[in-house]
Structure 1
Amino acid sequence: MTETRVGLVGCGFMGRMHSEVYSTLEGVTLVRAVDKDPAKAEEIAKAHGGQGGTSFEDLLADASVDVIDICLPTDLHADFTIRALQGGKHVVCEKPMALTLEESDAMIAAADTAGKRLMIAHCIRFWPEYVELERIVKSGELGGLLSLNLTRYGAFPAWSSDNWLADEARSGGGALDMHVHDSDYALYLMGREPDKMVSHGTVDVRGVSQIFTTMVFGPTVVHAEGGWNLPGSAPFKMAFRAIFEGGAVLFDGGPLTIYPADGEPRTPEMTKMAAAAGGNIS
């Protein structure tokens, strides 16, 4: 197996999460870690037998690095991603992709020009319960999908360095950072843009902190709710309810259950996600 060598940029909460995932993957080695705080970079690098530092340019110049993983605040995604692609590296970039469509288009153009891969880390596409829902939709085993309700809510994520998530100009607020999970999944699942879409949100001191979006894809209606404005003592929760012509699929944070219209409910066995395996969904 060919080894893939990764350089991590940004060693805060999400960078640490990514580094823990790399330790579980065969054929992938985290060889360098970069952060403005040298202690954070050294801590992660040491745990993986790699090299820590503060210079992105030094990382970019390292010919042994195949992939650069961008775990920086959202307002820095476009700049660092484009520089990494132009430097001949494949890129994994944390979600959300960027703050604007123009920045996102520039990132895609840079990947196309460089002939390198750009992946945005939309983890819900790979989350076991959401993968199972995709399988059921694509297989048609319950008939056509009539409606899908997607829910994701919790308290404000206070783990960001310098509290940058609270600055809507840097993070995009709850609409981009939280709601993007289910917006992306809906488009991914349906395979196209909606025929119609409407969104409404509530605003607090951090900007748009809760958002409600309804999308129409022909006969299918998708409604997504997301927000980070619950009290700090409230638990995080994600859930979905899918209604088909021939049954339903319910996931409420516990076991996913399939309810066929003409049979007994069943609960397929699912891989349990943990923090060390990428189980962060905020």
Structure 2
Amino acid sequence: MQRGRTRIALLGAGAMARAHAAAYVALADVELVEVPARDDARVQALLEDREVDAIDICLPSAVHARFAIPALAHGKHVFCETPMALTLDEAHAMRDAARSAGRLLQVGLLMRSVAEYRHIKDLTGSGVHGRLLGLSTWRLGSYLRPDAPDRKAHYGDPTTELMTFDLDFATWLMGKPTRVSAAGTGGITALLDYADGRHATIAASGLMPTGMPFTAGFRALFEDAAFELQQVFENGPPRVAFTIAEGKSPPRPVAAEGGNPFEIELRRFVDCIAGRADPKVLDADRAIEALTLSLDVRRAISAAPGAGS
């Protein structure tokens, strides 16, 4: 290993692992080791290797804790994908392991690194368009259908598999809601109410027709403007339309400054290891907040009139 480079072991396969690998290759101060998670002996050897600085976990959410906790106990920093875990007990155990070991545990809250989402965060703070009044988000796929081409790429209920990203976006902008209500099965809509009268509507579905590409986006309504993002995922990078509407003028395109969001978040992870960046942006506590909200949504569905009937 060349001194001055951060050595990171990447666990996993599939599209997410490939996206992380490509991002690391773009970082000149990273040395990447890719490891199939099925190779238990090699994983264990890497955990014990003092030359490995960090572990990046691109595996199904149900096994994040299984790999993260031993890695932290061996003194490795850890980056894992969203959702951080499927239960709060596992998420808390991961966070506690990081604190006990004095190591970083960062989570891929990817929307915080996507240019258009960051643009809305900046505007919310600046007040240039007035106060943020409300937010609507959607994340719509077909993965729950038996013939869906991406069925094997997803693993869980839409409340965690899809909504976690947008629940984190909503709390990043608006804070913790005072009330959560929700309805649906497979295709779910959640309403987050805030004490000051604002609200956020979060929609997620795994039941769209299989011929429809995966789509995600948002509408953010400010006092003096409305922004809309539409992303269509087919082959390669998404097709993106990001617009602003003000007054009587028709919507016009917005140029949001950004880059590859995977590279941005993993650049931050490497810089946090080196003490050059604030770890709070992708901290495990933020991921736990999003997971808590996704579980609140699931409970709200169970408690809704007619649920289970």
TM-score, with normalisation over the residues of structure 1? 0.80
Question: What runs of 5+ residues in structure 1 fail to find an aligned partner?
Answer: 39-52, 166-170, 203-208
1:262 Cα deviation from its structure 2 partner:
8.5
1:102 alignment partner, one of 83, 89, 100: 89
Structure number with the bigger relative contact order (C-alpha 8 A, sep ≥ 6) is 2
Distance in 1 of aligned mates of 2:101 and 2:248: 52
1:180 alignment partner, one of 142, 146, 164: 164
Q: Tell whether 2:63 aligns with 1:85.
A: no
Distance in 1 of aligned mates of 2:103 and 2:90: 17
Q: Deviations 1:216-263 (Å, cap 9, x if unpaired)?
A: 222321001011211211111112111111221121233322233498
Identity of aligned residues (%): 34
1:267 alignment partner, one of 253, 270, 274: 253
1:32 Cα deviation from its structure 2 partner:
4.1
Pairs within 5 Å for 1:19-58: 19-36=21-38, 55-58=42-45
Aligned to 1:219: 197
Pairs within 5 Å for 1:143-162: 143-156=130-143, 158-159=149-150
Q: Does the CA-based 8 Å contact 2:121-2:172 persist in structure 1? A: no
Count of matched residue pairs: 250
State the AA in 2 paired with 1:4.
T
Q: Deviations 1:46-84 (Å, cap 9, x if unpaired)?
A: xxxxxxx85211110111111100111111111211111
Question: What runs of 5+ residues in structure 2 fail to find an aligned partner?
Answer: 232-239, 265-309
TM-score, with normalisation over the residues of structure 2? 0.73
Higher-strand-fraction structure: 1
Q: Deviations 1:81-133 (Å, cap 9, x if unpaired)?
A: 11111110110001111011111111111111111111111211111110111
Distance in 2 of aligned mates of 1:6 and 1:106: 22
What do you get for the CA RMSD once the two structures are aligned? 2.7
State the AA in 2 paired with 1:63.
R
1:137 Cα deviation from its structure 2 partner:
0.8
Distance in 1 of aligned mates of 2:249 and 2:230: 21
Distance in 2 of aligned mates of 1:276 and 1:91: 15
State the AA in 1 paired with 2:206.
W
Distance verdict in 2 for CA 1:228–1:273, change over 3 Å: farther
Aligned to 1:133: 120
Aligned to 1:199: 182
